[in-house]
Structure 1
């Protein structure tokens, strides 16, 4: 089927959609015209104006995301289904000059230096602890959970993730554990109470730092755990060596050019034969990071590919031990966050405006779809400082409680 009409932009979109089988849906436009694909019953996308369609055709992720959050593109039906269909439409994902230009502009404007990273972290993580309390678990864990079965609650799954990380690190009483990008400090508190470690956590988020210190006092582990506002580039200033290092959901913020610096500094404060657990979103091959995510959600963010991580780590003296892909677990985590977020929309609107609400709806729903479809992954990589031939021969020690 070929669409022809007075509006060239409408024809370009509809002819591209007609070439692919991504479901039954309709597209309506600002002039009242409607194009139907299949039975058209699953959902309807409405373009409120010509400019929103033009932006989408020039850079699909940025154009659709910005149009949706601004209310220039509206959806009747399930947003998750719309995003799934869009991600499957490869014809719409062709790299355009405009999308490349947008990517270059973001790369130039979002410097991964100390000043830039401080701003980038505050942009996302300093939105207010009361906001995150609405939809995270009581431990305030903002990273992939670990589900042992489909009946697990988010609270259970996050504690199971902590237990998994601690088992992989083989934590022992009185060992010193460093958490790079410690968030609200919940993993360190768990490790101190359940494994008897001494811990240091670093973060650039003032909101997380203040809340984490309060929780440490509340849990009675102030003699075991300390949190610092410290950049990973300044790790040598600690003048301390650690038995184990963990970094969960922070590596995505360092940027492509700084991966080696992060790993070099981690190596410099890790004892010989010590273990590093690196928990990061990533890809199986190098690809540009989504322009909309970089512009509105995680400025300065970069999703590393697995090969580049391994190359940087091994060149800097780390020995690769294990990699586990928790992709499905992150999809489940995001689904639970999305539902909790939706349940608290009215409360969130007392804190932020509708544009912010739509932006976060699109972010949480879109990321869940990306993980479900296998476009992005969650890698847990275990390294040692120097060769370790004394570890158990099977992975059972990581899994058994």
Structure 2
């Protein structure tokens, strides 16, 4: 612990690099992990807050307008090597049975991670007013948690999932054979350049917008795939005040370097 205290007084980037290295080797006690987390969060907040609310709003609006001059997405191949093409066996160790690669809903009825996955999947379907027999497009379907959930529980619906990983496609198709599901189609594609003529009653985007830049062009593309009375359901994480690009500038940009290259934090 004494050495940990000494590290906290080193230059910022040196401290973060040493701390993260120790964290990756499971050498840090919880008290130090909490302290490191608070350090990283406070640094982000200090760098983001402006002297006045007017300047804060001005920067947010400038950021929003700047996205319109960007492509729909950047660095689309990098996340594949970072995590989407990792062996599925790894994700089975850290995710629930549904391999839901996004947030869960721990309601009062949730007792396990699997329960929380199921509760969130049910909530998506309820809030999107999904009906059995609807044609469904799951954009950025990951390991198919929502695609498979809809296919199982809305058996008259046909579900198309778009992912950016052959590993994910292989896993979903194997699950379909295991569950004897014949109402699922999986497409491997880069959503920023993908085109098709099909249209759908419901389109779901679960934590995919965070990988995008030009939301205007993205939504224009998605609107072409919607039937006249179709609905788009979007779930994305966001910060209550700040919007920013995930950029690898310092040692504290671990999430960008190893996980979220090309990403965006919406506000």
TM-score, scaled relative to structure 1? 0.53
Residues 81, 115 of structure 1: CA spacing in aligned structure 2 closer, same or farther, 3 A cutoff?
closer
2:63 aligns with none
Q: SS of the counterpart of 1:281? A: coil
Q: SS of the counterpart of 1:282? A: coil
Instruction: Write the distance in 1 (CA, Å) between the matches of 2:42 and 2:160.
Output: 46
Structure 1: give runs of 5+ residues left out of the alignment. Answer: 1-25, 30-43, 58-62, 97-110, 306-401
Q: Pick from 164, 170, 183: which aligns with 1:204?
A: 164
1:11 aligns with none
Residues 86, 172 of structure 1: CA spacing in aligned structure 2 closer, same or farther, 3 A cutoff?
same
Corresponding residue pairs, total: 237
Shift in Å at residue 84 of structure 1?
4.7
1:275 aligns with 231
Q: Whose RCO is larger (CA < 8 A, sep 6+)?
A: 2
Shift in Å at residue 287 of structure 1?
3.6
Q: Pick from 256, 259, 263: which aligns with 1:297?
A: 259
Where do 1:40-55 residues align within 5 Å? 44-47=4-7, 53-55=10-12
Where do 1:226-241 residues align within 5 Å? 226-235=185-194, 237-241=195-199
Shift in Å at residue 285 of structure 1?
2.6
Shift in Å at residue 234 of structure 1?
3.8
Shift in Å at residue 292 of structure 1?
2.7
CA contact (8 A) 1:126 1:205 kept: yes
Shift in Å at residue 298 of structure 1?
1.1
Shift in Å at residue 178 of structure 1?
0.3
1:242 aligns with 2:195: no
CA contact (8 A) 1:122 1:205 kept: no
Instruction: Write the distance in 2 (CA, Å) between the matches of 1:220 and 1:206.
Output: 21
Q: SS of the counterpart of 2:75? A: helix
Where do 1:117-156 residues align within 5 Å? 117-149=76-108, 152-156=111-115
Residues 88, 210 of structure 1: CA spacing in aligned structure 2 closer, same or farther, 3 A cutoff?
closer
Shift in Å at residue 183 of structure 1?
0.8
Where do 1:109-188 residues align within 5 Å? 116-149=75-108, 152-188=111-147
Q: Pick from 39, 48, 61: which aligns with 1:86?
A: 39
1:221 aligns with 2:146: no
TM-score, scaled relative to structure 2? 0.77
Residues 251, 54 of structure 1: CA spacing in aligned structure 2 closer, same or farther, 3 A cutoff?
same
Shift in Å at residue 47 of structure 1?
1.9
1:391 aligns with none
Shift in Å at residue 83 of structure 1?
3.7
Instruction: Write the distance in 2 (CA, Å) between the matches of 1:284 and 1:221.
Output: 40
Structure 2: give runs of 5+ residues left out of the alignment. Answer: 49-69, 247-252
